[in-house]
């Protein structure tokens, strides 16, 4: 039993060290990004399932995209470290992906038949570049 406890302690220590190195610690922005990424993935799976398009290859590509998001945030943090550790690039990249994930969640909700207010639909279309503001 103590062997497992020691293994868990080492695992938590390794994860914490990697998080600090790659992201500069875990902040509220990264927490929000993680939550939005998870919600988007599951709503995307639900939307694909409702449309009859649920495929393991699409799911794997979705996971790869989510990993890429965090790789970009880590790259932003490494740039910040070179420039003085102000978290400017890391946070800007995280905000961009938070907004992108929110748009995707709204689109997935629309595909599932959830009522989306017209102003939100219009904003999503404008932000995705498919429409013009009226």
Please indicate, yes or no, if residue 69 is contained in any of the structural domains. yes
Query: Domain range holding 7?
Result: 2-128
Residues 6 or more apart from 35 whose CB is under 8 A from it? none
Please indicate, yes or no, if residue 53 is contained in any of the structural domains. yes
Please indicate, yes or no, if residue 102 is contained in any of the structural domains. yes
Please indicate, yes or no, if residue 77 is contained in any of the structural domains. yes
Residue/partner pairs of 75-84 with CB below 8 Å, 24 or more apart: 77/22, 77/23, 77/24, 78/22, 80/24, 81/24
Please indicate, yes or no, if residue 133 is contained in any of the structural domains. no
Task: Please give the DSSP secondary-structure letter assigned to residue 112.
Answer: T
pLDDT digits (tens, 9 = 90+) for 6-49: 889 999 999 889 888 888 888 999 999 999 999 999 999 999 99
Q: What is the pLDDT of residue 4?
A: 86
Residues 6 or more apart from 86 whose CB is under 8 A from it? 80
Domain tally, the chain:
1
Kindly state the tokens that stand for 51.
């449309």
């Amino acid at each position: 039993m103590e062997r497992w406890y020691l293994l868990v302690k080492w695992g938590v220590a390794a994860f914490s060290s990697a998080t600090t190195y790659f992201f500069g610690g875990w902040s509220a922005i990264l927490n929000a990004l993680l939550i939005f990424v998870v919600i988007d993935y599951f709503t995307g799976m639900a939307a694909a399932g409702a449309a009859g398009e649920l495929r393991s290859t699409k799911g794997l590509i979705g996971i790869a995209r989510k990993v890429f998001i965090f790789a970009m945030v880590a790259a932003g943090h490494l740039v910040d470290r070179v420039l003085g550790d102000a978290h400017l690039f890391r946070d800007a990249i995280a905000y961009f992906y938070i907004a992108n994930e929110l748009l995707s969640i709204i689109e997935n909700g629309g595909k599932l038949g959830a009522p989306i207010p017209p102003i939100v639909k219009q904003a999503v279309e404008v932000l995705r570049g498919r429409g013009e503001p009226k």
